[in-house]
Amino acid sequence: MSMKKILVSLSVVVALALGWLLWSLGSGGAPRVAAGQVEEGITLFSGENFTGRSLVVEATLYDLPLVEDPDGSFFDWNDQVRSVIIASGTWRFYQHGRSNTELDETEIALFDVRAKAPREGWCALLSASESGALEIANLAAGGIGPDLSSIELISTSPLPSWAQTMRQR
């Protein structure tokens, strides 16, 4: 697939996700997605136990978004994720933006992670299982800091069952 097609696809996914988020924020203060109801991708929550704002992610986000609320105020998802549901796929979470690489003014549409110098920071590999979603009600309690800044889709498939078993040891 060409880089242009990938960027167009990513732009469409981000636009749809942001549109859904803006629509859902207008529906009240309750969680917009309840645990166990997500069907694909991941859902990020600004509060522990799947509460607060929610953001559905279906593709790599080199920088977590800044979203505008209907009242004109802004919410920056950077360092604000407290719980997550991974309904499908395998994902890598990064402490810093742009997949733990040097931060600069490069537009996301032109960003190439391979051309950037690495930046020191943690990352975590998380996956749904073959039997269903992975729900983490408190990222900090799960060993992942609250300073999440970027997310990479590694595979649309979950880790195989043997890997899930090894991860629990």
**pLDDT tens across 104-150, in order?**
777 767 767 777 777 788 889 999 988 889 999 999 887 887 789 89
Q: What is the mean pLDDT of the chain?
A: 76
More confident residue, 103 or 57: 57
Rounded to whole angstroms, how far apart are CA atoms 166 and 4? 38
Q: Which fold has domain 3-167?
A: Gamma-B Crystallin; domain 1 (2.60.20)
Residue with tokens 């040891």: 169
pTM, entire model:
0.69
Domain spans in the chain, listed from the N-terminal domain onward: 3-167
- The tokens for 169 are 């040891």
Arithmetic mean of pLDDT, 30-58: 77
Tell me the C-alpha to C-alpha distance, in Å, between residue 123 and each of 9, 20, 71, 84: 25, 27, 34, 15
